[in-house]
Chains A and B, each alone.
Chain A
Amino acid sequence: MGRAIVITSGKGGVGKTTAAANLGSALAQLGKSVVLVDADIGLRNLDVVMGLENRIVYHVVDVVRGKCTPAKALIKDRRMDNLWLLPASQTDDKDALTPADMAKLVCELKSNHDFVIIDCPAGIEQGFKNAIAGADEAIVVATPEVSSIRDADRVIGLLAASDIPARLIVNRISPHLVKRGDMLSQADVIEILALELLGTVPLDEHIVATTNKGVPAVIENKSLAAKEFTRISRRLAGLDLEAADTAPGFFARLGRALGLSPAPTT
């Protein structure tokens, strides 16, 4: 039985889909069998980011309505043998899915795969409830902006109410801006959200380029962000057992090496 992990944030545009694509691909690179589920019904994105848009025949609503089997709707990634995508539909019917449908579907996918990564839509309405319905655990993505943190805080509360344990990815940290005091630091974000940190992904132009190409950055694995996503996926897979909060993030280590940030007080 695999694990179902929902990637959520509350606020839109903080990098949920990019994180889902990269973590899914990185886990597949580690030899795990992974299904990416796009739960953003009506506004599908994950297929575009994965570069699999033109191969969609069936989608998640077809599966739920019994038009096809889950196995038939899964699109196999052309780069890796053990990575699949279940795309969202473009329907504007917000009641096309129910939490019960999703829970059943995710449970079915879990029985055949090591990881089911669910890309959650922005917001806390029906789409969010659907996306978290089948999840065993959650990854909350937050950028170091006040609005993102506020929404993440809200979402963490809702996840706790549903008994879903959550961990944090701080996305798009820019060392220059943090140093100038124009951006909240990783420590500031953790201080407010009080959540276990999985990793800190730096702001990286390379991510923009690879996302537009439809190739997850971890596949080329050249950029700093890609390396961090790979590290996070190793932690998710239980390969790196060091806890995130005792292992400083990339910039904490870099900053300390350069004498910019203080050594941890612990």
Chain B
Amino acid sequence: MSASAATSLVEPQSPTELAPASAAEDAAPPRPAAVLKGGPRGLEFLIDGTAPIAAVAAALCTRLAEAPAFFRGSSVCVRVEDGPLAPGCLARIDEIATRFELSIVEVGASRPARPERDASAAVSAPVSAPAAPVEDTATPQGSAAHPAGSGAVAAELAAALPAGDTRIVVGPVRSGVILEHHGNLVVVGDVNPGAEVRAERNIIVLGRLRGIAHAGIGRDHGFILALKLEPQQLRIARQVARAGDADGPVAAAEIAYVTSNTIVVERYAGKLPLGLANSM
């Protein structure tokens, strides 16, 4: 499902969406509407969220056309500065990316300035901002990140993606980091003690889960699956369980889910327990 997430971003563009943007086209933006940046994780499009769609498209096309062969096949992270992105803009960017044979692997707000990020990372209360340094890691497959400040982008994505969309994060998720997602959350790597992963649907950790995990937020079911389930605390929907003092390490992958108002943990036998498959 996640592999198709990137392609499902393509939305038919309605003429009405374009109308206000082209009207504003003549106003020269004080800074470039779109900037291409190379990073260690691939190409980045820095989009000025306040710029009209046409200006963004023109800036991207101009830069990409300078060296189409050089960019071809790259993975792209789209970062929106001063969002929200105008409606339909994302579809336009995707269209351009497709034309230049680029694949968009991540969409999100641009990185905030360093001090701000440190400050937000220090907040321990559950926040809507997942202040995670790992979150902007380019994901290996199509997935969508929704950092804070990109409310409208998130809304647009939410409309474009199936309800249970999945976010893939490359770990380790370190102490003090709170990762939050409204769909399924997959962590490729460890979740360290002191870290917290939160999802409105399910959580899958391809590594050791040693922090706190909360699945099924605002719902009545969900599961947490980890290759090594050694959490400080598990929360699923409205239930809370903490690691028993006597629990020894288990070598196998385990799954935790709610049944008759209690969290049960059992060895993961290669398929989801009855009734959970629909919750993905």
Interface residues of A (CB under 8 A from B): 99, 124, 129, 146, 150-151, 153-154, 156-158, 160-162, 192, 194
- B189's nearest neighbour on chain A, judged by CB, is A194
Instruction: List, in ascending order, chain A residues with CB within 8 A of B134's CB.
Output: 157, 160
CA of A103 to CA of B134, assembled, Å: 25
Instruction: List, in ascending order, chain B residues with CB within 8 A of A146's CB.
Output: 193
Chain B nearest CB from A121 CB (Å) reads 15
Please give me the 10 A-B residue pairs with the lowest Cβ-Cβ distance, nearest first. Answer: A157-B174, A161-B133, A153-B175, A154-B176, A154-B175, A160-B133, A153-B174, A194-B172, A153-B192, A150-B175
Question: Are A157 and B133 within 8 A (Cβ)?
Answer: yes
Residues of B in contact with A, size category = 20 to 34
21 A–B contacts from the bound complex (CB under 8 Å): A99-B115, A129-B118, A150-B175, A150-B194, A153-B176, A153-B193, A154-B176, A154-B194, A156-B174, A157-B176, A158-B118, A158-B121, A160-B133, A160-B134, A161-B114, A161-B117, A161-B118, A161-B133, A192-B190, A192-B193, A194-B189
Interface status of B77 (Cβ within 8 A of chain A) = no
Instruction: List, in ascending order, chain A residues with CB within 8 A of B192's CB.
Output: 153, 192
Instruction: List, in ascending order, chain B residues with CB within 8 A of A192's CB.
Output: 190, 192-193, 210
Question: Are B133 and A158 within 8 A (Cβ)?
Answer: yes
Interface status of B177 (Cβ within 8 A of chain A) = yes
Instruction: List, in ascending order, chain B residues with CB within 8 A of A124's CB.
Output: 118, 122
- B114's nearest neighbour on chain A, judged by CB, is A162
CA of A151 to CA of B189, assembled, Å: 19
Instruction: List, in ascending order, chain B residues with CB within 8 A of A158's CB.
Output: 118, 121, 133, 176
What 1/0 flags go to B167-210 for Cβ under 8 Å of A? Answer: 00000101111000000000001101110000000000000001
Chain A nearest CB from B176 CB (Å) reads 4
Interface residues of B (CB under 8 A from A): 114-115, 117-118, 121-122, 132-134, 172, 174-177, 189-190, 192-194, 210
User: Which of A154, A157, A194 counts the most chain B CB atoms within 10 A?
Assistant: A157
CA of A156 to CA of B192, assembled, Å: 12
Chain B nearest CB from A172 CB (Å) reads 20
Chain A nearest CB from B183 CB (Å) reads 24
CA of A194 to CA of B173, assembled, Å: 11
- A152's nearest neighbour on chain B, judged by CB, is B175
Instruction: List, in ascending order, chain A residues with CB within 8 A of B122's CB.
Output: 124
- A156's nearest neighbour on chain B, judged by CB, is B174
CA of A28 to CA of B115, assembled, Å: 34
Chain B nearest CB from A133 CB (Å) reads 9
- A157's nearest neighbour on chain B, judged by CB, is B174
Give 18 A-B pairs besides A153-B194, A161-B117 with Cβ atoms closer than 8 angstroms.
A124-B122, A129-B115, A150-B193, A150-B194, A151-B175, A153-B174, A153-B193, A154-B175, A156-B174, A157-B134, A157-B174, A157-B176, A157-B177, A160-B134, A161-B133, A192-B190, A192-B193, A194-B189
CA of A160 to CA of B175, assembled, Å: 13
Partner of B190, one of A129, A151, A194: A194
Instruction: List, in ascending order, chain B residues with CB within 8 A of A194's CB.
Output: 172, 189-190
- A162's nearest neighbour on chain B, judged by CB, is B114
Chain A nearest CB from B91 CB (Å) reads 31
Chain B nearest CB from A185 CB (Å) reads 15
CA of A160 to CA of B111, assembled, Å: 13
Instruction: List, in ascending order, chain A residues with CB within 8 A of B172's CB.
Output: 194
Instruction: List, in ascending order, chain A residues with CB within 8 A of B121's CB.
Output: 157-158, 161
CA of A150 to CA of B134, assembled, Å: 17
Chain B nearest CB from A215 CB (Å) reads 36
Instruction: List, in ascending order, chain A residues with CB within 8 A of B175's CB.
Output: 150-151, 153-154, 157
- A153's nearest neighbour on chain B, judged by CB, is B175
Chain B nearest CB from A192 CB (Å) reads 6
Instruction: List, in ascending order, chain B residues with CB within 8 A of A153's CB.
Output: 174-176, 192-194
Chain B nearest CB from A204 CB (Å) reads 28
Instruction: List, in ascending order, chain A residues with CB within 8 A of B174's CB.
Output: 153-154, 156-157, 160
Chain A nearest CB from B128 CB (Å) reads 18
Chain A nearest CB from B232 CB (Å) reads 11
CA of A154 to CA of B122, assembled, Å: 10
CA of A99 to CA of B118, assembled, Å: 13
Chain B nearest CB from A124 CB (Å) reads 7
